[in-house]
Structure 1
Amino acid sequence: MTAPFNFGQLKFLKALTEALFHEAEMMISADQVVANVCDLFEKIGGTKLDEIRLSLTATELVLGGPFFTENDVADRVERLTDRLKNSQIDLFQDMARLRGIIYACYYGHWQPGLTPGDQGANAANPVHRQIGFTLPQFRQRGDYDVPLAPVHGREIDPAHILDADSVGQEYDVVVIGSGAGGGVAARNIAAQGYKVLIVEAGPFYPSPAITHHELDMIARLYKHGALQTSTNRDFVVFQGRCVGGSSTINNGICLRVNEAGRTHPDAPDVLAKWASIGAPIDAAAFHASYDAVQARLGIAPIEPRSGRHNGPHLINGWTSYAATSSNPRDRRAVADWFAKNFGPPNTVNACAYCGYCNSGCAYGRRMGIAQTYLPEACRDFGARILPDTKAERIVWQTAYDGRREAEAVKLVLPDGSKRLVRARVGVVVAAGTIASSKLLDRSDIDRTGYQISLNVASPVVALMPDGVGGDAWDEDQMSSYVDCGDYLLESHFQPPMSMASLMPGWFGDHAERMRNFGRVHSAGILFPADRRGRVKDGKLEFRLDASDDLPVLRDAMATLTKVHFAAGALECYPALAKGQKVTPDMDVDAFFRDAIREQDDVTLSSSHPHGGNAINENSQHGVVDLDCRVHGTTNVLVTDASVFPSCIRVNAQWTTMAMAHYATARGDPFR
């Protein structure tokens, strides 16, 4: 493969790395960091590689062109500080996010071994040693702990995976997307006797192939290597791109909309809102779909031992904070453990809490789509999966009543060739909010990709007193939450590479915070940004409302910071572009009012894009009807989160699965 960067770009990357680690001890060389960056983008390739090349060239020019690489490190630090770290210019703030890639490629360093992801070769990984991190294979586990051993028998049979030579010319139903929406729909439709082909743009990566080499897994299992952004680069949008979709690389969080006892009583009623805007859903049937998914995935509140450090930190901190709060909303808040499809809990197959959920479960313990609905669809009902394949467009014919009827799907196969695969009965689109919108648009469906919502996330890291709280990395990544009504607070902690990319701070400050890896705890906010975005020219365009959204963002960040302090934190590091720290003696509310003037001032992300192809009984206001069938067509369904008419405000996995079940399990959806 051709090297991803030219000589000048490599030289700039090295100079940038040296500056970002100024006055910090490096356990690997700047050249090795650059090699890790190259390895990452070599695997990602495509348009994202083109974007980063352009960004490197532009950033070098902003920093002084060739003079930047020739200057001494102190001068480079000064330029970075003046032109990127402290800049209020949007373009320069976007360029500043390169720091996250450099830090990720330092702390994600992996030493090659005899096998892919060889933990043994990394027992003495110098970067891990520097921050006091221990890989799962070498952690001390007692009788109380779930063993870190693989669970067998859940994976998809490789014989059910097709390639360009084995894919047929026609099927009854073609399902586009193998994640939460596509997997559930495919199983239900196949169970009705239809011959089903499941098309997936990403690779087939069963649990035994997954490792703890973060850089490798992130590059292979995420769309654009987890570097997918909105058009303004203000939001990172995390989406899985593999068989099983995002259910393969998420934290398994399962929350229903407005679940009694687990949702703030003052939170908006999501299904009532849908009904008010033309999307009345049968609530009883929808909750029956939740129940069916729950039974299949073993969804239940997690065992507290799996979130033994960071999880109680948030719950205990909230209890202390709420006891002194004068806000009645806080006294009505719900603080609890997450329910998940990891396990099921309290069984021998329960989550072993290695802390690597977001780079895939190497132990087959996650009851994801690729361990449940997809194997069943293939094994019991004859469905087949075609990975590494893009659905280019739906090909139409005219039905007897004048409506459009899907006749075939044009595919770009793994070998690069194109082929029409006939769909005798129908097509299901479930490629995710952005990809489904793009496919429907390419297929001449009007008004797709509008009014997209995000559950917007941003972290706040807290430094705890030495010896307090335990190693937050030695547990489930996300275990507890607080529903505050307007937003959620969620405990979370990441392995070194991902945590480094999220950790605020520059230069020596960032290095010092990472050296305290065993002393920091972390949580994030999650707030609903309702129908603020659209897909334009194939990318997500999204902007928060300055009047409605930014005050919620500031309030959520301030509240979470106060909760950390109530739990005993010495100082907090919110995910601000400038990397400021907050201490208990500060006016926290005033700090965030001043620090967050616009969305560029804070690192924002989302794993839950939804909407774009909304349900509505009126074809002028939505793309699909109340049965999730595309308006004006006879046989095309959309069964992913893109059909949600408004923001659901909680993690979207379970609701997406329930929607797919609702659309495909209440009778034959094609009759």
Structure 2
Amino acid sequence: MSSIADPIKEGLARGWQVFGPGQKALPERIDCDVAIIGSGAGAGITAELLAKAGLQVLIIEEGPLKSSSDFRQRESDAYSQLYQEGGGRKTADQAMPVLQGRCVGGSTTVNWAGSFRTPADTLNYWAQNYGLKDISPASMAPWFEQVEQRLNISPWLTEPNGNNSVLQRGAAKLGIPAPVINRNVKGCWNLGSCGLGCPTNAKQSMLVTTIPAALDLGARLLVQTRAERFSWDGEKIESLSCLPIHTDGSAAGPALQVKAKHYVVAGGAINSPALLMRSHLPDPHQLLGKRTFLHPTVASSGVMPEAVNGWAGAPLALYSDHFLYTQPFNGPIGYKLETAPVHPGFAMTNLGGLGQTLVDKAKDFPHTSVLIGLLRDGFHPQAIGGTVKLKSDGSPVLDYPISDYLLDGARRAHLTMAEIQFAAGAKSVRPAHDMASAYGSWKEAQAAIQALPYRPYITTIGSAHVMGGCNMAGLAELGVVRPDGQHWQIVNLSVHDGSIFPTSIGANPQMTVYSQAARMATALAQRLNGREVRLVEAQPAKRSELQT
């Protein structure tokens, strides 16, 4: 793949202004119009729009700058270089792993490319319960359309890989809808290594789209630079203290000060609340860091008679929302069904089992199908999510109790996935649960799963979707930020990432972050210098549309 162009190397050769360990030396102070903390979904969209508006933009990323030349489809490289805490981030009680990106492009660099518009019932729930009446399905439609055009989001038309085919066959036999997914890719090689960084630049992550566009427009980028805390007085931020770091998080030099007219926090729904908490920003209603949500995710592995080779091909091609929409918000928790890449490290770590069980799983690896169920948290009195807290060194941790309500959803999702896998022809199915076995029939699996004790630690649960903690609301007593993303108490501070969600959304969140950031950043550009900007230029009207 050495012949593939590397847009990051090409940009650096053109003279991009990139500073930090391994790049240009960091100055002691940087002045700008807007400082953006983070470089993921919200940050990337915001950076491009504000740079288009002619503002001096500074992007601050605590992770390294890696590119397609570094992405070699190796789990050992990717997790250590591209993920928070080397891929080992967990909740406070260590019961759930939490996968988040920590590199330029953030989680968009390492996600599986699934792109969903925000479900209409989620937006309606926010309107009814958080005063967000202007963020409706109809009002968001133009923002969805802009993002879809900018990031080439469209249905995946290639034949599903072996793993997705299991979901397709089993769901069809049971009469469960399983439509094709939308993906943000262009010229995809269908390699299957989306979570390890795209080596062909096909995935339209912030790393290859909005961040390069902003840098070409004169934005500056700080890498391996951690935003430590804000200094503020009254209702305004005065400066931001940052620290250059090595990839292990240790200091790599003296602190520097960033002075901006406006600050946009977009570090993700664990790091963003933590920055505001370290800075002791106003929180009169004690909302900061609260109601932080995951899509707690459970898995089921099935051994198929045919070779699945689930490490090859797009990891997400199909999905099913059937078990979201058959559950009311005030009832048992609903769940979305998807597939997961069957990469050795990822699968062997997250599918449960010890000793001989792992040996047996390794032998069956080429024939293994993995389905996942993503629980929709945040809509029920027993679904209160978690809380971001600070450790003694100021680093964040997410406290996320696993309630009986969530565990009931885990059991029901395991039952559904086992039934689908058997309907697709599985020889055996094993839910990801330390006390489970490989069951040889749907009848046996159904009885066994119903009898299993569902508790934290023995029930394997994880997540790659973090939301909330700085939620937006139409009233100050209901949220940390206003509907336009501006902090309720600090006039020159906004939040543009998944931490603004009042609940989880019941879908992979990148599209919701993109569209909300586009809406907020467009308005922010107008407020800061009166410029009207768009992610994509409006198409000229057709001749027939101009005729009256």
TM-score range, shorter chain: 0.7 to 0.9
1:566 to 2:426 alignment: no
1:154 Cα offset (Å): 7.0
Q: Report the counterpart of residue 390 of structure 1 in structure 2.
A: 226
Q: Report the counterpart of residue 125 of structure 2 in structure 1.
A: 273
1:437 to 2:273 alignment: yes
1:488 to 2:336 alignment: yes
Q: Report the counterpart of residue 151 of structure 2 in structure 1.
A: 297
1:374 to 2:231 alignment: no
Equivalent pair of 2:411/2:454 in contact (CA under 8 Å) = no
Q: Report the counterpart of residue 106 of structure 1 in structure 2.
A: none
1:247 to 2:108 alignment: yes
Equivalent pair of 2:299/2:371 in contact (CA under 8 Å) = yes
Please give the secondary structure, in 1, of the residue aligned with 2:457: helix
Equivalent pair of 1:183/1:373 in contact (CA under 8 Å) = yes
Task: Choose from 275, 285, 299 the match for 1:459.
Answer: 299
Equivalent pair of 2:230/2:241 in contact (CA under 8 Å) = yes
Task: Choose from 253, 276, 286 the match for 2:140.
Answer: 286
Equivalent pair of 1:170/1:422 in contact (CA under 8 Å) = yes
For residues 346-425 of structure 1, the aligned pairs below 5 Å read 350-379=187-216, 381-398=217-234, 404-414=235-245, 415-423=252-260, 425=261
Amino acid at match of 1:475: G
1:476 to 2:314 alignment: yes
Q: Report the counterpart of residue 540 of structure 1 in structure 2.
A: 398
CA distance in 2, matches of 1:600, 1:166: 44
User: Structure 1 residues 667 and 243 mapped into 2: Cα distance closer, same or farther (>3 Å)?
Assistant: closer
- CA deviations 1:61-118 (Å, max 9, x no partner) are xxxxxxxxxxxxxxxxxxxxxxxxxxxxxxxxxxxxxxxxxxxxxxxxxxxxxxxxxx
TM-score (norm 2): 0.85
Q: Report the counterpart of residue 200 of structure 1 in structure 2.
A: 61
Q: Report the counterpart of residue 372 of structure 2 in structure 1.
A: 524
1:421 Cα offset (Å): 1.3
Equivalent pair of 2:167/2:318 in contact (CA under 8 Å) = yes
1:230 to 2:91 alignment: yes
User: Structure 1 residues 230 and 635 mapped into 2: Cα distance closer, same or farther (>3 Å)?
Assistant: same
Q: Report the counterpart of residue 164 of structure 2 in structure 1.
A: 311
1:620 Cα offset (Å): 2.0
Task: Choose from 133, 138, 157 the match for 2:11.
Answer: 157
CA distance in 2, matches of 1:578, 1:156: 52
CA distance in 1, matches of 2:526, 2:82: 31
- CA deviations 1:20-53 (Å, max 9, x no partner) are xxxxxxxxxxxxxxxxxxxxxxxxxxxxxxxxxx
1:213 Cα offset (Å): 2.4
Q: Which moved more, 1:309-318 or 1:247-256?
A: 309-318
CA distance in 1, matches of 2:308, 2:480: 50
Q: Report the counterpart of residue 35 of structure 1 in structure 2.
A: none
Amino acid at match of 2:253: G
Amino acid at match of 1:393: R
CA distance in 2, matches of 1:503, 1:646: 27
CA distance in 2, matches of 1:588, 1:288: 46
- CA deviations 1:363-418 (Å, max 9, x no partner) are 21111001101000110x211110100101112234xxxxx112211111243311
User: Structure 1 residues 670 and 585 mapped into 2: Cα distance closer, same or farther (>3 Å)?
Assistant: closer
1:287 Cα offset (Å): 2.2
- Answer 1 or 2: higher relative contact order, Cα 8 Å, separation at least 6: 2
CA distance in 1, matches of 2:179, 2:467: 25
Equivalent pair of 1:635/1:670 in contact (CA under 8 Å) = no
Equivalent pair of 1:236/1:604 in contact (CA under 8 Å) = yes
Please give the secondary structure, in 2, of the residue aligned with 1:588: helix
Q: Report the counterpart of residue 539 of structure 2 in structure 1.
A: none
- CA deviations 1:141-168 (Å, max 9, x no partner) are xxxxxxx973554777223221272445
Q: Report the counterpart of residue 546 of structure 2 in structure 1.
A: none
1:236 Cα offset (Å): 0.6
Please give the secondary structure, in 2, of the residue aligned with 1:604: coil
CA distance in 2, matches of 1:670, 1:587: 62
TM-score (norm 1): 0.70
1:495 Cα offset (Å): 2.1
Please give the secondary structure, in 2, of the residue aligned with 1:476: coil
Which structure has the highest helix share of the two? 1
- CA deviations 1:504-560 (Å, max 9, x no partner) are 3322221122122211111111111223111123310002331x3222221111001
Task: Choose from 437, 440, 450 the match for 1:593.
Answer: 450
User: Structure 1 residues 292 and 529 mapped into 2: Cα distance closer, same or farther (>3 Å)?
Assistant: same
Equivalent pair of 2:310/2:343 in contact (CA under 8 Å) = no
1:352 Cα offset (Å): 1.1
1:211 Cα offset (Å): 1.4
User: Structure 1 residues 152 and 173 mapped into 2: Cα distance closer, same or farther (>3 Å)?
Assistant: same
Equivalent pair of 2:49/2:525 in contact (CA under 8 Å) = no
- CA deviations 1:287-311 (Å, max 9, x no partner) are 2211111101100111233x33111
1:627 Cα offset (Å): 0.9
User: Structure 1 residues 162 and 236 mapped into 2: Cα distance closer, same or farther (>3 Å)?
Assistant: same
- CA deviations 1:606-639 (Å, max 9, x no partner) are 1111001111122222100111101111110100
User: Structure 1 residues 512 and 413 mapped into 2: Cα distance closer, same or farther (>3 Å)?
Assistant: same
User: Structure 1 residues 587 and 542 mapped into 2: Cα distance closer, same or farther (>3 Å)?
Assistant: same
Please give the secondary structure, in 2, of the residue aligned with 1:184: helix
CA distance in 2, matches of 1:273, 1:368: 29
Equivalent pair of 2:238/2:259 in contact (CA under 8 Å) = yes
User: Structure 1 residues 540 and 388 mapped into 2: Cα distance closer, same or farther (>3 Å)?
Assistant: same
CA distance in 2, matches of 1:282, 1:371: 29
Task: Choose from 185, 197, 203 the match for 1:342.
Answer: 185
CA distance in 1, matches of 2:484, 2:526: 8
CA distance in 2, matches of 1:151, 1:315: 35
Which of the two has higher C-alpha Rg?
1
Please give the secondary structure, in 1, of the residue aligned with 2:202: coil
Amino acid at match of 2:142: A
CA distance in 2, matches of 1:418, 1:643: 29
CA distance in 2, matches of 1:670, 1:545: 43
CA distance in 1, matches of 2:10, 2:84: 21
Amino acid at match of 1:430: A
User: Structure 1 residues 585 and 362 mapped into 2: Cα distance closer, same or farther (>3 Å)?
Assistant: closer
User: Structure 1 residues 233 and 627 mapped into 2: Cα distance closer, same or farther (>3 Å)?
Assistant: same
Q: Which moved more, 1:223-232 or 1:469-478?
A: 469-478
Please give the secondary structure, in 1, of the residue aligned with 2:113: coil
Equivalent pair of 1:151/1:365 in contact (CA under 8 Å) = no
The alignment covers a number of residue pairs equal to 489
Please give the secondary structure, in 1, of the residue aligned with 2:236: strand
Q: CA RMSD in A?
A: 1.9
Amino acid at match of 2:51: A
User: Structure 1 residues 296 and 154 mapped into 2: Cα distance closer, same or farther (>3 Å)?
Assistant: farther
Q: Report the counterpart of residue 21 of structure 1 in structure 2.
A: none
User: Structure 1 residues 221 and 435 mapped into 2: Cα distance closer, same or farther (>3 Å)?
Assistant: same
Q: Report the counterpart of residue 58 of structure 1 in structure 2.
A: none
